[in-house]
Amino acid sequence: MPKPDAAKLLASARSGDRAALARLLTMVESDPDAAFVAAGVVPKAESRKPKADAHIIGFTGSPGAGKSSLLDRLAGELARSGARPACRGEARPSGRRPAVLSIDPTSPFTGGAVLGDRVRMSEETLAVGVFVRSMASRGAAGGLARSVSAAARVLALSGYSPVLIETVGAGQGEVAVAELADTVVVVLVPGMGDDVQMLKMGILEIADVYAVNKIDLGGSAAFVEHLCEAVSGPGAHGRARHELAAGPVSDWVPAIVPTSARTGEGIVELVAAVESHRRHLAEDGRGQALRAARAGRRILRALAERLAAEAGCEGSCRLELGKLAAAVASGAMSEWHAAGELLGTSIMSPAAKSGGRKRLLDSRPAGRAGRPGSDHGKSL
Amino acid sequence: MVARRNNKSNNLGKSSSAPSAVRSAASALKRDADGGGRRIRLIVGKSGLDGHDRGVKIVARALAEAGMEVIYTGLRQTPEQIAEAALQEDAAGVGLSILSGAHLTIFRRVRELLDERGLGDVVLFGGGIIPAEDVPALQKMGVDRVFGPGTSTAEIADYVRGRLGGGTK
């Protein structure tokens, strides 16, 4: 079979060919650039620039919080709601064509993955035209996969919006989704800790909307109350406060929506909260300013990952690594310090050494290279 | 699918010496940084009113341990859901576990729906409790391979790698 052409696949996908879209997504998973090459070629054929302004909604939360089930409900409701009877009384589509990207972890040992998020996708949701794609994290840190933003772009170019992105079940610190999504929904469940958990930073900070799921199990009232305290008042959670410091002032207070993916309770309210945030972003160009700031953070994350991946360690570096590993294992030094030692003794692979990456490394203070996402927020 | 777990593939819990662990982690990172190339992606699931999923879960896990991306679709999927999953996921193959006796009906329907979607090149295979005398009929309708009880997971992984890993997609 001849190698399919990304631009041709995109043209087919834009005319509604789901198999072509699926094939293009596979291509993009191996090479994120394919999405952008394709997008650059299409305008000539169609004589207009393809628009891709999908609302990107990130879904994150602990494993087992009910992200997949809630996403299934939400995607179905987004596709159906807003449908008005047409003049002849037939149901008309809502105008929204939701797509779902679900990420599950890749094994660090074998490179394989079990992608299980489709288990929660109901027949009803597929029947209303929701496109669901599973992605393996393939070694990316932070709860997403490296090609997620490119895959979201392909879906947007193919006419899908919103694009719902489900992260690898996150712990407290997997916050990469906040660097991509326009709206972040953090899914929580009652009974996963007391009010001290609410003080903790990380995942609780990144929400625009909190879904308190599994309310059918009871015990949600006190939890919602604690959460309300955490998102309002001084030191409140919610990322708008941090991100907008340098941009337009935001008065967005994170919404809290009690839900039950099992009974369907709260799903209409969840759609309303997400829509309300989208409208909020549309005012005064807030959304565009935020997108640029987040893209900057994604570049820095990609830079850190590329440095880690391309700093090959062969020969003498391998010997040095062995010594350092023994020292770190015995408690003699920190891995942070050891990484600095490796950078200092110039252990880059020959390819990296001769190329531009060496200069890139040299231009950074040795102790700071490879330190992702620490203190660049302000400068953006 | 009914399958016996392959003990050799289940050595993740064993302690290994630090340098080799470092090496394998580094090589995994390197592999992933290359975009991972093209992984074998396939659908594994069950269809019909058959709630026995221990075998299919073991197979899904074993294929992931063999380095594949396994999209597990779970229990009681309709043939339509399975065919649509194969399309959206751009899967190279579909493996179904059937222990209910409905294999002739389900495999035929899934094959039809795949072909309707232009997915004639998607390899359909399966296993479970399937009488030997039904295997020729299944093969005739386009089921590539049928694994019976007692098959080792290594045998299934070898088959999938050989059949789907050839870069034909």
Chain centroid to Cα A294, Å, comes to 11
Cβ–Cβ contact A139 with B under 8 A: yes
Interchain proximity A325–B19, CB inside 8 Å: yes
Which of B18, B29, B119 is closest, CB to CB, to A139?
A: B29
Taking the CB of residue B20, how many other CB atoms lie within 10 A of it? 9
Q: How far is B70 from chain A (nearest CA, A)?
A: 5
Residue A342 phi/psi, 5° resolution? -60, -40
Interchain proximity B61–A114, CB inside 8 Å: yes
Which residues fall within 8 angstroms of residue B169, CB to CB, at 6 or more apart?
A1, B38, B90, B92, B121
By residue count, chain A amounts to 380
Cα torsion for A223, A227, A229, A233, to the nearest 10°? Answer: 180
Which chain B residues touch A109 with a CB distance below 8 Å? 12, 24, 28
Report how far apart the first and last C-alpha atoms of chain A are (Å, whole number): 46
Q: Which of A56-60, A195-199, B36-40 has the lowest mean pLDDT?
A: A195-199
Is residue A239 a contact partner of residue A184, using CB atoms and an 8 Å limit?
yes
Which chain A residues touch B13 with a CB distance below 8 Å? none
Chain A: residue whose CA lies nearest to B117: A19
Chains A and B: how many Cβ contacts under 8 Å? 127
Distance from C-alpha of B139 to C-alpha of B62, rounded to nearest angstrom: 24
pLDDT at A364 over 50: no
CATH topology of domain B4-10+29-163: Rossmann fold (3.40.50)
What 3-state class would DSSP assign to A242? helix
Q: Which of A220-224, A370-374, B50-54 has the lowest mean pLDDT?
A: A370-374
Complex ipTM: 0.75
Cβ–Cβ contact B28 with A under 8 A: yes
- Domain ranges in chain B are 4-10+29-163
Cα dist. A54→A98, A137, A163, A337 in Å? 9, 22, 6, 43
Predicted confidence (pLDDT) per residue in A34-87, tens digit: 777 777 665 444 545 556 688 999 998 888 888 999 999 999 999 987 655 545
Is residue B65 a contact partner of residue A110, using CB atoms and an 8 Å limit?
yes
Q: Band of the pLDDT at B169, cuts 50, 70, 90?
A: very low
Q: What amino acid occupies position A81? A: S
Mean pLDDT score, A132-144: 84
CA nearest B46: which of A52, A308, A118, A216? Answer: A118
- How many CA within 13 A on the CB side of residue A27? 22
Which residue has tokens 């020729």? B136
Which chain B residues touch A113 with a CB distance below 8 Å? 64, 68-70
Instruction: Annotate A96-162 with three-state secondary structure.
Output: CECEEEEEECCCCCCCCEEECHHHHCCHHHHHCCCEEEEEECCCCCCCCCCCHHHHHHHHHHCCCEC
Is residue A212 a contact partner of residue A66, using CB atoms and an 8 Å limit?
no
What 3-state class would DSSP assign to A358? helix
Predicted confidence (pLDDT) per residue in B63-100, tens digit: 999 999 999 998 888 999 999 999 999 999 999 999 99
- DSSP lists the bridge partners of residue A100 as A132, A164
Taking the CB of residue A313, how many other CB atoms lie within 10 A of it? 18
pLDDT at A109 over 90: no
Chain B: residue whose CA lies nearest to A129: B84
Interchain proximity A146–B35, CB inside 8 Å: yes
| Segment 115-134 of chain A within 8 Å of chain B by CB | 115-116, 118-119, 123, 126, 131-134
What is the pLDDT, as a whole number, of residue A121? 85
Which residue has tokens 């222990």? B99
Q: Which of A158-162, A253-257, B44-48, B164-168 has the lowest mean pLDDT?
A: B164-168
Distance from C-alpha of B131 to C-alpha of B109, rounded to nearest angstrom: 19
Which chain A residues touch B12 with a CB distance below 8 Å? 109
Interchain proximity A118–B63, CB inside 8 Å: no
Cα dist. B120→A21, A225, B70, B112 in Å? 17, 55, 20, 9
* Angle ∠(B17,B19,B20) on CA atoms, nearest 5: 70
| Segment 324-353 of chain A within 8 Å of chain B by CB | 325-326, 329
